Structure 1
């Protein structure tokens, strides 16, 4: 009997309904009892507490108001925890989304350096118009020396492009914060990694 080859299933983008299933409050729905959301570090978690925030922009410089982001990071000692537990003071995995104002926020701790590299936070971005989520990293601008020696940042040949992965230190309502805007395309396009 001859083998019949099947056609590949067409690809599907992540939006515009990703918020309904994964970012319930952003979509205007009540949250589930157990929700992995944007508070990775609770009060009392060891380490330097920070707020991360930013916008996601399309190639025309317009805000993307329905992006969904996932973050994973090491703790303040540079150690990844493989298990999520809602009762822990710090979990190395969190989620957030942009809403009507286009802003995303995440409460966490500043990670320690991992494997002789600079402190960083890994993130994935899901949005309408992209078929496969995008991966990138967030580094900190007050870590210039470790950033300069980081092996992953040094894979990016143009120094100006490396800057697209660096979050800028600021203050929000008296709290230490870092701003990290993501540009999908254009002159300021964020570096994304191909895994």
Structure 2
């Protein structure tokens, strides 16, 4: 297969003409933003095809890959999100739309396992339910960038259990390891979760096959998901990560940001918990995560 520089002039002209025709086909698009998106997509897509001199067999393989990605996608498993994640597209979109701000908490990927209508728990409640794992006491505040507390902010929290699975990956329909709660009048929140552990993203489908073929690990760094919403403030989707986790520099979806790495202090069995909970001699951990939300523009 010739490289781009080896393509004869006549062939180059044929390919250039096709690009012009496809771009022209979108010239009458009424929506200027849609026109911009489609023409940019055409330019970049054709540039890729021409740079790598894609074979027809490779084109068919790509079609089959995308078809398989669609077939494995369900209400609880979004393989296209997973594909976007492992290509870094999800994280790059977040970077573009959430410019770095020293005052506000940084955003990261939503991931494929967020579920609407999670159970509500009170402050100090247990979002883990009966999911297996070491208990973790999570506390913090929600403020705006001026330092004002945000009462009544809604926090969605969810995570995998110690076996590396989210509740929706089980077949029993039971919700565990996810909940929502609201900050108090001073913007404070507390709840019990699980000490996060590393786990692999689902790798039994097309995305896992891609990672295997490219010698990439499916492992995610240990993390706990948050989604924070409050009137007049920008919605935040983020995680916190465990300081010292060996996967911090090789997270499969490129979601780690250093400002989100937190110290999870391990507590030996028998240590008094902040709320006097009886853990029967079991070890536990605690972490603090203060969330700062910018105003909507």
TM-score normalized by the length of structure 1: 0.60
* 1:56–1:181 Cα contact (<8 Å) kept: yes
May I ask how many residue pairs the two structures share in their alignment?
141
* 1:166–1:180 Cα contact (<8 Å) kept: no
Q: Which has the higher strand share?
A: 1
Match among 145, 150, 166 for residue 80 of structure 1: 166
Q: Deviations over 1:88-139 (max 9, x none)?
A: 7x812111221123211121112332320111112211101036x3211111
Question: Separation in 2 of the partners of 1:182 and 1:139?
Answer: 14
Match among 235, 243, 258 for residue 141 of structure 1: 243
> Who is 1:112 aligned against?
197
For structure 2, list consecutive stretches of 5 or more residues without a partner in the other structure: 1-118, 201-218, 268-272, 277-283
Q: Equivalences for 1:1-195 in 2 at 5 Å?
A: 36-37=120-121, 38-42=125-129, 46-82=132-168, 91-115=176-200, 116-130=219-233, 133-143=235-245, 145-152=246-253, 154=254, 162-170=257-265, 173=274, 176-185=285-294
Q: Which has the higher contact order (CA 8 A, sep 6+)?
A: 1
Helix, strand or coil: the match of 1:82? helix
Q: CA RMSD in A?
A: 3.1
For structure 1, list consecutive stretches of 5 or more residues without a partner in the other structure: 1-34, 157-161, 187-195
Q: Deviations over 1:16-55 (max 9, x none)?
A: xxxxxxxxxxxxxxxxxxx53141235x753111111111
Q: Deviations over 1:44-92 (max 9, x none)?
A: 75311111111112111222122110011111111111189xxx7x812
- For the pair shown, the structure with the greater C-alpha radius of gyration is 2
